Structure 1
Amino acid sequence: MAHSCVSYEGYNILRHRLVLSTGTGKPGKIRTNDDIRGLRGTTLYFQTGLLYGGAVEHDCSLQRFIGYYLEAMLALAPFMKNPLKAVLRGFGLSLIAEMTNGTNLSAEMASNPPGQGTPILPEELGKNCANLLLEEIYRGGCVDSINLSLALLYMTLGQQDVSKVLLGPLSLYTIEFLRHLRSFFQTVFKIEALKPEEDGKGGEKVLMTCVGLGSTNLSKTLK
């Protein structure tokens, strides 16, 4: 059965749009009105096929931390016909804080590629990444900002039951991703802001609730 095309204006969170299009099998069309080298607007039409999985090797850009690539792969891996085996090449730093409530919060940072931008010493990179981790701890919640969209996607695709997760303040990026989940899956989250007296630590918290779709990996049944 053919899927209707999901259309967007602008190239914001392009990576997530491609992931959701691939996961749902719905073709996507993205148009930007920016003038690029004399061209008035650009249109990208994307249509996916089967998710075969298997061995994948990719040279990661040094301008992105490793989680940028892993997030998209983890979002699609559960729905591939074969187990995904990935080899990613790149350089950066990942820090993880194990909280007393049993959750893990992380922060990542990559150095500038040689000849691009201001060189950064390893010590400075570590200090900056540590500051990002402290910010994640202050934000609180059960999921760090790097993996918010992945957690929300798994809740959407999970069992046909109520799922809840406690998060820190929602960024504009996350709010836009929630709109995309509604466009592709017709899933709407209930968002409850916690009062200060309910959680007196760190930044503001929100409780996210949705009912999963009960998605299954049909690709594994194909021979």
Structure 2
Amino acid sequence: MGKVSYKKLRGSQNLRQRLLLASLSATPVQVEDIRANDTDMFYVAGIKFQYRPGIVMGGRHLVHDCGVNPAIGYFLKPLVVLGLFSKKPLSIRLKGITYDSRVCVETFRSATLPLLKQFGVPSEGLELKIESRGVPPHGGREVLLSVPIIRSLTAVTRIDEGMVMRIRGVTFSTRVSSQFENTMIHAA
């Protein structure tokens, strides 16, 4: 094997997107100065790393424990993109917190997945099934993400954003009476 040529990047801005694009383009990257302005000496060893991507395979019956921070929504966006361009369809069960202050799984299911269909992603095989919900601090709930494979995306031009016809929401509660949830629904 010959010497690997790394594309050099600086800083930690958009690190997830950088690693995602490096994986899709099979480009090795070296990220430096991740914590350039951090004065804590504890992190000195973690200021640089190299990433050499392999082949994105996909697969069925995969399971990943996301922990309690960040929530499952943090992992969904890169997983969908990697799954679309993998060798085999992706089916993965994610365990952890389904809702936090960032993107929750309901928002991802009702906003991102329909948007992907406009880019030519087939409806068959593209699914996010919420099997159970979990909130901080313990989480412990899971979702099932299924992503088909595609060859390319279709270009989309969005000129007219349209009118808002209705606003919908999802409500759930944990460890409280369902009366609180009903009151919240009627107050909205």
Q: What TM-score results when the alignment is normalised by the length of structure 1?
A: 0.43
Higher percent of residues as strand: 1
